[in-house]
Structure 1
Amino acid sequence: MKTRLIAVSFLWLALAGCAQLVGLTGYSVSEADVQARLNKQLKHWSQDMSQEIGVNTDITQLKVTLSDEQARFDIRGEAALSQLLKNIPLSVAISVQGKPALEGHAIYLRNLKVLSAKADVMGYSGRLGPDSAMFSSWLTRYLDNHPIYRIPDDSPFAKMPLTMTVSKGKITFHKAN
């Protein structure tokens, strides 16, 4: 009887373990999750950019769009151009696109391209010229060193090798073979 109880207990534990592994077939992160994480960093982005390019900058809005192995960021903000001790407010809107890359358990945005860069200043609305290259250069350096998402350390996926796919509205992680 005791042997039978041990065998049943062992079988029960084995089945429970298999059930847990079935639950680990995939892990998804929504566009909203990525955006919420990045929105918490906007103040830091603004401070870092202000120091790097020497223009007082306040990034006020970020929209993340995920689709077809790409991520697009639509960024809006304000900058203050100094002209003879007077600050001139400048509204900027920049759209960039890049390829999310899984490195370890963090996602970085690589191969960044500026899709559009516009500015509104004192009634003038038009394309940003050299400033968009400066912004793109700063953003590329920043995103090279700061992931757009990191798998939480307490996740079962944090302890295993992974692959990743990016599709409309989400990033999905799978256990690597």
Structure 2
Amino acid sequence: MSWKCYMNAVKGKSTAIILLVALATFSVSAQVIYKIVQEDGTVLYTDQPIPGAEPLDLSEVNSAVMPRLATPPSQSSNTEQPEGESYKIEVVSPAPETTVRDNQGRIAITARLSPTANGQFHLWLNNQKVGSQTSGSFMVEGLNRGAHTFFVTATDNTGKTLASSDPQTFYMHQASALVNSGNR
């Protein structure tokens, strides 16, 4: 066999190998998955075509959207607003990122709903509901020092959420007996 014939034979074999690899790759990606619901209700997935199995189309890219963390229960799917009404809650005080200096851990939180509506205001502090009332003014006591996040929601008389404020953070500062105690 001449050198030229040998090289053509090798070239033909490498082309065949490339085609086989491409076909194998395509057949793996295009493999069919079957879903079978058994008599007891359990679901089985397999790559074997079993009688009664339903083939699944997995050709589209699978993706998942992660939910926002710390979504409170009041901001669920019942946030629909009546037609023609667009409600908004504005936190009047404290301002965002405020440092509150109070040794008893007290803070006044005030919110305003516009347009006004009959119903309840609800204060959520650190993802826990701490109060409900008909006005948007709340007094919270006994907070520990550190960062605290809050938001206010408003519901109508049927309990449907009309609006929710954006979460805000404030910092509670309390004097310490360890600082400036006069003992050095």
TM-score, length-scaled by structure 2? 0.22
User: Higher RCO, 1 or 2 (CA under 8 Å, sep at least 6)?
Assistant: 1
* Structure (1 or 2) with the greater helix fraction: 1
Greater Rg by CA = 2
Q: Structure 1-normalised TM-score?
A: 0.22
